[in-house]
């Protein structure tokens, strides 16, 4: 299938591009390279450098490349920033996405796969999280993702758009051969920061909170390998043939992992100590978030190749150790 991957030069998008090629599809990338990297894409991949809200450009690409499905990964995703600068998030994550959808409908491209997040659940009252639980985001980032989920339902009903929404838990890891991986600027995620603390590239890791009501006092998260996430996006294609289909899936391994357990995995992978200090809780961090992904397993035949944190961190280390400067 000819697939437009919006945000395809970013972390999850670039891994998905590679999985699309492995599965025999033809990805084309739209990315303004604000956060994406040309180096995350094979030279043969056609990259269009435009904003996703540029309807004229998007319409042209959809027509010229005979696009049959769109995957949308491009979003601002810093929770703290979204609290301080909500308009930036609403304009990019909501308004620009609506322009993308408008362009798709105008050209008759009818299949859409959307990156959503467990942040749409806010602070759930039950664990693991199933898709039918109430969604009540506690920050504008999560709200913008939920706004698009809701818009998709309405557009699908009115216009026959078929869509799948994937609510990611903590995307982590890198391509097994270490050729592409996580390269955010600024970096705020636990695993890359712990690796950089171990190698001395950054100061000691700060552990945000050791007094949570969890077994070791640190937050529990559900780390899921970026290639496992990517494969789910491809597995859903067959479900989108019927116009007006709307699907929602959690994607996580279902294994809660604490900050201390991540640190131990990084020490195992790198063979070095992770220096750390303890710091107060970070605002907006729920104590525990982990997924029930059995719906994706059952309906999509989704399989998890990297079920535990050691295997995930080993791939992250393969990337960081082979490319310490990232894509620079
Ligand atoms: N953490 C630290 N120190 C750090 C960084 C993180 O202790 O320097 C802790 C956090 O407090 C949290 C855990 O490590 O308990 C994981 O933090 P990340 O920042 O790696 O990931 P989050 O769980 O905060 O964020 C992820 C996604 C977001 C999404 C969010 C939903 O990256 O896009 O889950 O809650 F919005």
Set out the domains of the chain in order of their start, with CATH numbers. Answer: 2-172+223-251 (3.40.50.720), 190-222+254-322 (3.90.25.10)
Distance 190 CA to ligand 1 centre (A): 6
Q: Edge-to-edge strands of the sheet including 47-48?
A: 47-48, 26-30, 2-6, 69-72, 111-117, 162-168, 246-251
Residues forming the active site: 141
Whole-angstrom distance, CA of residue 14 vs CA of residue 230? 9
Name residues whose C-beta falls within 8 Å of residue 56's C-beta, 6 or more positions apart in sequence. none
Per-residue confidence (pLDDT) for residue 35, from 0 to 100: 95
pLDDT of residue 107: 98
- Residue 278's DSSP bridge partners are 207
User: What is the reported pTM?
Assistant: 0.97
The ligand 1 atom at the shortest distance from the C-alpha of residue 141 is 36
pLDDT by residue for the chain (328 residues), tens only, comes to 999 999 999 999 999 999 999 999 999 999 999 999 999 999 999 999 999 999 999 999 999 999 999 999 999 999 999 999 999 999 999 999 999 999 999 999 999 999 999 999 999 989 999 999 999 999 999 999 999 999 999 999 999 999 999 999 999 999 999 999 999 999 999 999 999 999 999 999 999 999 999 999 999 999 999 999 999 999 999 999 999 999 999 999 999 999 999 999 999 999 999 999 999 999 888 999 999 999 999 999 999 999 999 999 999 999 999 999 999 8
Pocket test for ligand 1, best of 259, 281, 284, 288 (most atoms within 8 A of CB): 259
Give dist(CA 246, CA 162) in Å, integer: 6
Ligand 1 atom 21, closest CA? 189
> Residue 284: what pLDDT?
82
Tell how strand 223-225 and strand 26-30 pair up.
unpaired
221 CB near ligand 1 (under 6 Å) = yes
Q: Quote the CA–CA distance of 182 and 20 in Å, as a whole number.
A: 19
- State the alpha helices, DSSP H only, in 47-165: 55-64, 79-84, 86-89, 97-107, 140-159
Atom number, ligand 1, closest to the C-alpha of residue 191: 20
Cβ pair 172, 229 in contact under 8 A: no
Ligand 1, pocket-test mutation among 170, 217, 218, 286, most atoms within 8 A of CB: 170
> Could you tell me the distance, in angstroms and rounded to a whole number, from the CA of residue 157 to the centre of ligand 1?
35
In this prediction, residue 283 carries a pLDDT of: 85
Q: Give pLDDT tens digits for 168-199.
A: 999 999 999 999 999 999 999 999 999 999 99
pLDDT at 323: 94
Dihedrals phi, psi of 256, to nearest 5 degrees? -75, 130
């Amino acid at each position: 299938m000819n697939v437009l991957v919006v945000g395809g030069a970013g972390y999850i998008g670039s891994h998905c591009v590679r999985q699309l090629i492995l599965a025999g599809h033809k990805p084309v990338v739209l990315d303004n390279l604000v956060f994406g990297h040309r180096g995350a894409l094979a030279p043969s991949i056609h990259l269009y450098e435009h904003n996703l809200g540029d309807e004229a450009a998007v319409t042209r690409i959809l027509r010229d490349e005979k696009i049959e499905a769109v995957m949308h990964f491009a979003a601002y995703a810093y929770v703290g920033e979204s609290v301080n600068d909500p308009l930036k998030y609403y304009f990019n994550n909501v308004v620009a996405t609506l322009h993308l959808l408008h362009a798709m409908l105008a050209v008759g491209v009818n299949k859409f796969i959307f990156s959503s997040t467990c942040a749409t659940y806010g602070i759930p009252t039950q664990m693991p999280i199933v898709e039918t639980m109430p969604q009540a985001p506690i920050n504008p980032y999560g709200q913008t993702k939920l706004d698009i989920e809701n818009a998709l339902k309405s557009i699908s009903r009115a216009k026959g758009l078929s869509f799948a929404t994937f609510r990611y838990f903590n995307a982590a890891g890198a391509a097994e051969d270490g050729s592409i991986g996580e390269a955010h600027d600024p970096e705020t995620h636990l695993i890359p920061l712990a690796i950089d603390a171990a190698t001395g590239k950054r100061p000691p890791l700060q552990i945000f909170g050791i007094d949570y009501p969890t077994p070791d006092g640190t937050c529990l998260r559900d780390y899921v390998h970026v290639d496992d996430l990517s494969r789910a996006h491809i597995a859903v294609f067959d479900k989108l043939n019927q116009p007006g289909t709307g699907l929602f899936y959690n994607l996580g391994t279902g294994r809660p992992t604490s900050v201390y357990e991540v640190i131990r995995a990084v020490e195992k992978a790198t063979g070095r100590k992770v220096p750390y200090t303890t710091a107060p809780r970070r605002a907006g961090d729920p104590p525990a978030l982990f997924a029930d992904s059995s719906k994706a397993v059952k309906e999509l035949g989704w399989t998890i190749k990297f079920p535990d944190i050691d295997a995930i961190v080993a791939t992250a280390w393969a990337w960081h150790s082979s490319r310490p400067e990232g894509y620079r």
